[in-house]
Amino acid sequence: MGRTEMKILIGLHRNVNALDKKTSKIAAEYNLTFSQFMVLEALYSKGDMSVGEVRERILSSVGTIPLIVNNLVKMNYVERMCNEKDRRVCILHLTQEGYDVISKIVPRNEAMIAESMEVLDQEEKEKLLYLLKKIGASCIIQI
């Protein structure tokens, strides 16, 4: 791998980390960790999902997702429901309390992301999105 590719990779990581830190600060105002926010946001945007689907969506490890979910259940933000077709599968559902909290956080987080990207004009944003998809497509093929 060349020097330019390493700089791109480092730049991507630094930008994602910076945005994640800002998201963590917003989530902390509601007594949530970053991971808890991610679970709630996934359920808010996609609806009920199995624990495995949530884990894949938020890129969490197998070991940490049960702890995150248990804490959200204790906070009454999420409830577990048994899958009627397969009792071994647990479906996660946002409670009304969970919905109320995440519906306040998501708009603030989206505004923060939009503000962070104001340094790019619309054409640059579209080009960046195109390039990221292009890189992503090549990575999927190679895995």
The predicted pLDDT at position 100 comes to 97
**25 phi and psi angles, rounded to 5 deg:** -65, -40
Give per-residue pLDDT as tens, 34-53: 999 999 999 999 999 988 89
Quote the pTM value. 0.86
The predicted pLDDT at position 32 comes to 97
- DSSP assigned state of 80: E
Question: For 5-33, b where at least 16 C-beta lie within 10 A, e where not — what string?
Answer: eeeeeeeeeeeeeeeeeebeebbeeeebe
pLDDT at 1 over 70: no
Please tell me the total count of domains within the chain.
Answer: 1
Question: Which residues form the domain of 115?
Answer: 3-142
The predicted pLDDT at position 52 comes to 87
C-alpha–C-alpha distance, residues 16 and 20, integer Å: 6
Give per-residue pLDDT as tens, 105-141: 999 999 999 999 999 999 999 999 999 999 888 876 5
Query: With helix as H, strand as E and coil as C, how does 95-117 read?
Result: CHHHHHHHHHHHHHHHHHHHHHC
Give per-residue pLDDT as tens, 83-94: 777 777 789 999
Coil vs helix vs strand at 62: coil
Indicate which CATH number applies to the domain containing 40: 1.10.10.10
